[in-house]
């Protein structure tokens, strides 16, 4: 079945779509310019063929391990986790015997100590992902795992390490050159939140046996026209990514400053967290943007959905569904009369009914909603979704007049954390930190 965007309940007639639709020619010209200059590898994927060859060369190597420990944070981990939970759910199910992917995406002493105590070093590959090679949350864990591998494996420790970093520079690239550690590059101009279909997300996918070719093919199906040097404004105006961007920008113009991502494909729920970073880090600039709100169907119908439907009228919704999910086991026939409506029916029918009911309820409550109905929950469809939302995010940022590819506000907290650890330099941050810590505090026990 086809993948469809259902605009029926998007409230298009209440929004000023024309103002942004009129920018199709301008946006098409900008896409031609930036893709031609190599600035949007997320769309052009010039690295795809080389990457496929590099991944093919890793297959036999990775088969020698039972465990992969991925060290990464933000975009270096969220995409990998979404793919794992979507296409390797057995790791979270009873009786799984391997392979195992572990993702260390936080400064978490409990988890790190567990990895060091329980993972068999000789059967574990440690994959460290940092484009800059300077992300302390990630590289700090690399230092600890490097020492652990040296203690456990001696001179062969580097054979159990794999680095994903800048092709030419940075601390981790220096480690590659010094120790001969295997490495794959993060392409230039590819930010972390746009990197899931590079080595960043595809190495874990390969380890778990996913169909990488299908993921890339799906993404290419959506992005190829956007990457064309022949792209016209007329063609862009018909593209779903531009239509979503126009809708999102028009919503923000009217005060809809929260975007719900409601996933009714249970195994794809973690794409909500991936989308949240993509949307927030790309569009939260200069006092602008809309707050992404990941939600899981049916789970969140019983929690935050009350706010969505009866709270402040500032929310819109991207509603992810698939009519072709597994049927699952049947409900027993011998049920009390009050549950007679599910007697002998497939469990899968219930989530479809719940999804339909909640979609209607949100729409009737005044929440503008576009349904992304996937023809299947396959890797190819996931690739299409990743490319569609990534392109829509970039175009939304351009329509807003901001840069969707940087994240300037994120850096301040990082600098202050380094100042707290007494890193060299950062005199201004250290003074700010001292002023903050020595100020009078309003402390109250509870």
* Residue 413 lies inside a defined structural domain of this protein: no
Are both 271 and 200 inside the same structural domain? no
Q: Is the pLDDT of residue 423 over 90?
A: no
List pLDDT tens digits, range 285-333: 999 999 999 999 999 999 999 999 999 999 999 999 999 999 999 999 9
Residue 394 has pLDDT above 80, yes or no: yes
Burial class, 270, CB count within 10 angstroms (exposed 0-12 / middle 13-18 / buried 19+): buried
Other beta carbons within 10 Å of 331: 17
Over the stretch 47-91, which tens digit does the pLDDT of each residue have?
Answer: 999 999 999 999 999 999 999 999 999 999 999 999 999 999 999
What's residue 383's pLDDT? 98
| Count of domains for the chain | 2
| 199 neighbors 212 (Cβ within 8 angstroms) | no
Give 361-387 as a DSSP string: HHHHTT--EEEEE-S-SSHHHHHHHHH
At 412 the pLDDT is 82
Task: Tell me which long-range contacts 363-367 makes (C-beta under 8 A, separation of at least 24).
Answer: 363/9, 365/308, 365/309, 365/310, 366/313, 367/260, 367/308, 367/309, 367/315, 367/316, 367/317
Rounded distance, CA 305 to CA 297, Å?
10
pTM: 0.95
Question: Which pLDDT does position 409 carry in this prediction?
Answer: 81
- Residue 439 in any domain: the answer is no
Residue 423 lies in a domain: no
Q: Residue 237 pLDDT more than 80?
A: yes
Residue numbers annotated as active site: 281, 302, 414
Residue 365 included in any domain? yes
Question: Maximum CA pair distance of the chain?
Answer: 73
Query: What's the gap between Cα 32 and its chain centre?
Result: 25
- Across residues 246-258, what is the average pLDDT? 98
Calpha distance 210→89 (Å, rounded)? 12
Residue that has been written with the tokens 């060091």 in this structure: 116
CATH number of the domain residue 21 falls in: 3.40.50.10490
pLDDT in tens, 11-45: 999 999 999 999 999 999 999 999 999 999 999 99
pLDDT of residue 411 exceeding 90 = no
Domain closes at, from 183, 213, 243: 213
Which of these ranges, 72-86, 92-106, 356-370, 406-420, has the smallest mean pLDDT? 406-420
Let me know whether 90 and 193 are in one domain: yes
Range of the domain at 381: 4-35+227-400
Cβ–Cβ under 8 Å, residues 231 and 225: yes
29 and 74 inside one domain: no
Task: Say whether pLDDT at 1 is over 80.
Answer: no
pLDDT (0 to 100) of residue 42 = 95
Distance CA 255, CA 290 (A): 9
């Amino acid at each position: 079945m086809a993948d469809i965007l259902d605009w029926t309940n998007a409230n298009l007639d209440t929004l000023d779509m024309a103002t942004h639709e009129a920018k199709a020619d301008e946006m098409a010209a900008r896409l031609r310019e930036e893709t031609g200059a190599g600035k949007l590898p997320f769309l052009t994927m010039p690295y795809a063929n080389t990457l496929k060859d590099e991944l093919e060369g890793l297959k036999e190597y990775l088969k020698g391990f039972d465990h992969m420990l991925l060290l990464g944070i933000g975009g270096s981990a969220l995409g990998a986790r979404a793919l794992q939970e979507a296409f390797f759910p057995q790791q979270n199910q009873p009786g799984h015997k391997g392979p195992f992917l572990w993702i260390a995406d936080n400064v978490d002493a409990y988890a790190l100590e567990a990895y060091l105590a329980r993972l068999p070093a000789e059967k574990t590959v440690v994959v460290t992902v940092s484009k800059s090679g300077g992300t302390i949350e990630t590289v700090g864990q690399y230092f600890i795992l490097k020492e652990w591998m040296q203690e456990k494996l001696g001179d062969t420790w580097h054979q159990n390490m794999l680095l994903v970093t800048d092709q030419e520079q940075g601390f981790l690239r220096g480690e590659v050159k010094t120790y001969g550690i295997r490495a794959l590059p993060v392409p230039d101009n590819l930010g972390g939140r746009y990197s899931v279909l590079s080595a960043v997300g595809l190495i874990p996918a390969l380890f778990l046996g996913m169909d990488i070719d299908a993921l890339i093919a799906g993404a290419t199906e959506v992005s190829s026209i956007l990457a064309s040097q022949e792209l016209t404004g007329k063609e862009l105006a018909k593209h779903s990514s531009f239509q979503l961007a126009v809708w999102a920008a028009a919503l923000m113009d009217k005060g809809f400053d929260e975007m719900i991502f409601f996933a009714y494909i249970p195994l794809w729920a973690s794409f909500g967290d991936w989308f949240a970073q993509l949307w927030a880090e790309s569009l939260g600039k200069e006092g602008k943007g809309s707050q992404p709100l990941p939600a899981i169907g049916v789970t969140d119908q019983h929690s935050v959905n009350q706010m969505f439907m009866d709270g402040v009228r500032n929310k819109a919704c991207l509603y992810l569904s698939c009519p072709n999910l597994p049927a699952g086991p049947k409900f027993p026939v011998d049920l009390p009369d009050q549950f007679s409506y599910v007697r002998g029916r497939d469990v899968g029918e219930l989530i479809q009914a719940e999804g339909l009911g909640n979609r209607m309820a949100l729409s009737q409550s005044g929440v503008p909603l576009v349904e992304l109905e996937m023809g299947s929950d396959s890797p190819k469809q996931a690739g299409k979704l990743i490319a569609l939302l990534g392109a829509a995010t970039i175009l939304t940022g351009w329509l807003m007049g901001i840069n969707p590819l940087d994240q300037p506000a994120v850096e301040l907290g990082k600098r202050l954390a380094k100042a707290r650890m007494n890193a060299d330099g950062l005199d201004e941050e250290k003074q700010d930190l001292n002023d903050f810590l020595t100020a009078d505090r309003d402390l109250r026990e509870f």
